[in-house]
């Protein structure tokens, strides 16, 4: 372990346990210390995961002890923490959403570029095995050039108990789940530059939307329809599955329940069941999400060690966050909003 990169995890709340389980499986990295404004949370998680040090102030990153920081705090804190890491010249992996609006995301990217400090967004959905396999099928040319996609995430998982800040988040569903779908749409179908979107607040008492329906216009002429909801009641629950379809000019892949890809090509049909990696710390219903965490982290470490660009660098992710911004503008105005309508393009 002496050659491992040493990381500081900042933010020891709900999702951080998945990060720490994940880091324990990553080759070439280890978490050397954790930090939370509530130092008792940092201490408790450090003890649970046998992390040697804990802190209550992120300025510990100035001590020169760390090769990277893993930021697992909510979006309102991200710009300040990235600026601190950039000043300390430490590469960053940071949870989605990168920032609460597109202007903040742009500033974070600018901080990263001006300091020459790489920043990767922890966007784990594209690192789910199902989507990596789907990307391989598309790359093989089996269904031809893509023309239409549909991505659907609908469930009633109780995020309000595990992530109570979501009750008060004004930009809620698009920033929480929509951002995963927009990234997946780009990953599978290519970059997009215009959106129409309708938002709904179905559950009473929320500050923001809990359901959104979008249409994306991709630069290559294809279209993706996305529908997301935390107010969709089914038994059994579909959480955390993304369902849908990708149509190509010569075939189709359906994304079916229980992680099955159904491939239609050349007049034939076959099902591929995608199994997770069977990690001993994952548990239903979170397995598919948890399983993607160490794969996301490994991409960060491998890219860092080989000087390669991250798939979801802050710069690349501006394309995703511009779509989210355009979606909110569309929902407010009732119109299609393109990147030309934003004050600055990504
Ligand atoms: P949380 O509120 O449970 O935990 C955040 C912690 O960060 C808190 O303990 C808080 O005290 C601490 N914190 C805030 N500012 C800090 C600072 N300046 N220095 C040190 N500590 C600080 O949040 P969470 O539910 O764990 O979510 C964290 C992030 O993870 C969010 O952005 C959320 O969207 C994201 N998330 C991602 C996934 C995914 O699948 N990718 C799943 C769940 C949550
Ligand atoms: O932040 C998130 O990604 C979560 C989810 C439930 C999708 O994991 O809200």
Q: pLDDT per residue over 22-49, tens digit each?
A: 999 999 999 999 999 999 999 999 999 9
Q: Residue 321 sits in a domain of what CATH number?
A: 3.30.360.10
69 and 199 housed in the same domain? no
In this prediction, residue 137 has a pLDDT band, given cuts at 50, 70 and 90, of very high
| Final residue in a domain of this structure, among 109, 124, 139 | 124
CATH code: domain of residue 63: 3.40.50.720
Over residues 258-264, the mean pLDDT reads: 98
Closest ligand (CA of 75): 1
Q: How confident is the model at residue 216 (pLDDT cuts 50, 70, 90)?
A: very high
Residue 345 is predicted with a pLDDT of 84
Average pLDDT, whole number, for the chain?
97
Distance 88 CA to ligand 1 centre (A): 21
Residue 281 within a domain: no
- Is 201 part of a structural domain of the chain? yes
The binding-site residues of ligand 1, defined as CB within 6 angstroms of any ligand atom, are 10-16, 35-38, 41, 58, 72-75, 77, 81, 95-96, 122, 124, 163, 165, 289
What is the model's pLDDT at position 260? 98
* Contacts for 164 with CB less than 8 Å, ≥ 6 apart: none
- The whole-number pLDDT of residue 1 equals 43
What is the DSSP secondary structure assignment for residue 310, as one 8-state letter?
P
Q: Is 176 in the pocket of ligand 2 (CB under 6 A)?
A: yes
Please check whether residues 41 and 92 belong to one and the same domain: yes
Q: 107-124 pLDDT, tens per residue?
A: 999 999 999 999 999 999
Do residues 328 and 185 share a domain? yes
Q: To which residue do tokens 């959403």 refer?
A: 97
CA 75 to ligand 1 center in whole angstroms = 8
Domain assignment present for residue 30? The answer is yes
Give residue 111's domain range: 5-124
Supply φ then ψ for residue 80, to 5 degrees. Answer: -65, -45
Task: Assess whether pLDDT exceeds 90 at residue 298.
Answer: yes
| Alpha carbon of 193 to ligand 1 centroid (Å) | 30
Select from 24, 16, 74, 5 the least CA-distant residue to 45: 16
Among 124, 139, 174, residue at a domain's last position: 124
H-helix or E-strand spanning residue 83? helix 78-87
The stretch 238-246 carries a mean pLDDT of 98
Indicate if the pLDDT at residue 294 is higher than 80.
yes
Please give the pLDDT value at position 33: 98
Is 123:96 a contact under the CB 8 Å cutoff? Answer: yes
**Are residues 21 and 59 located together in one domain of the fold?**
yes
- Point out the domain boundary residue: 100, 124, 148: 124
């Amino acid at each position: 372990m002496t050659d491992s990169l040493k990381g500081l995890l900042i933010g020891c709340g709900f999702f951080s346990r998945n990060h720490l389980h994940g880091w324990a499986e990553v080759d070439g990295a280890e978490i050397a210390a954790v930090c939370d404004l509530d130092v008792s949370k940092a201490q408790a998680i450090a003890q649970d995961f046998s992390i040697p040090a804990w802190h209550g102030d992120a300025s510990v990153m100035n001590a020169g002890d760390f090769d990277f920081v893993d930021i697992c705090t909510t979006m309102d804190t991200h710009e300040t923490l990235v600026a601190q890491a950039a000043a300390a010249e430490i590469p960053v992996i940071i949870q989605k959403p990168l920032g609460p609006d597109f202007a903040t995301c742009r500033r974070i990217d600018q901080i990263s570029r001006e300091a020459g400090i790489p920043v990767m967004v922890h966007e784990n959905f594209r690192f789910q095995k199902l989507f990596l396999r789907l990307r391989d099928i598309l790359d093989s040319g089996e269904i031809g050039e893509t023309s239409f996609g549909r991505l659907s995430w609908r469930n009633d998982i109780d995020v309000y108990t595990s992530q109570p800040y979501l009750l008060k988040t004004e930009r809620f569903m698009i920033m929480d789940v929509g951002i995963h779908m927009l990234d997946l749409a780009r990953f599978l179908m290519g970059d997009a530059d215009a959106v129409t979107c309708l938002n709904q607040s179905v559950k009473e008492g929320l500050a923001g939307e809990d359901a959104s329906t979008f249409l994306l216009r991709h630069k290559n002429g294809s279209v993706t329809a996305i529908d997301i909801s935390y107010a969709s009641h089914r038994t059994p629950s579909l959480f955390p599955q993304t369902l849908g379809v990708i149509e190509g000019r010569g075939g189709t892949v359906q994304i079916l329940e229980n992680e099955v890809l159904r491939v239609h090509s050349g007049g034939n049909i076959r099902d591929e069941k995608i199994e997770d990696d069977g990690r001993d710390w994952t548990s239903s219903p979170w397995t598919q999400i948890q399983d993607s965490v160490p794969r996301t982290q490994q991409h960060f470490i491998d890219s860092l060690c080989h000087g390669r660009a991250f798939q979801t660098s802050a710069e690349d992710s501006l394309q995703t966050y511009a779509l989210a911004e355009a979606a909110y503008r569309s929902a407010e105005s009732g119109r299609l909003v393109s990147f030309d309508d934003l004050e600055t393009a990504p």
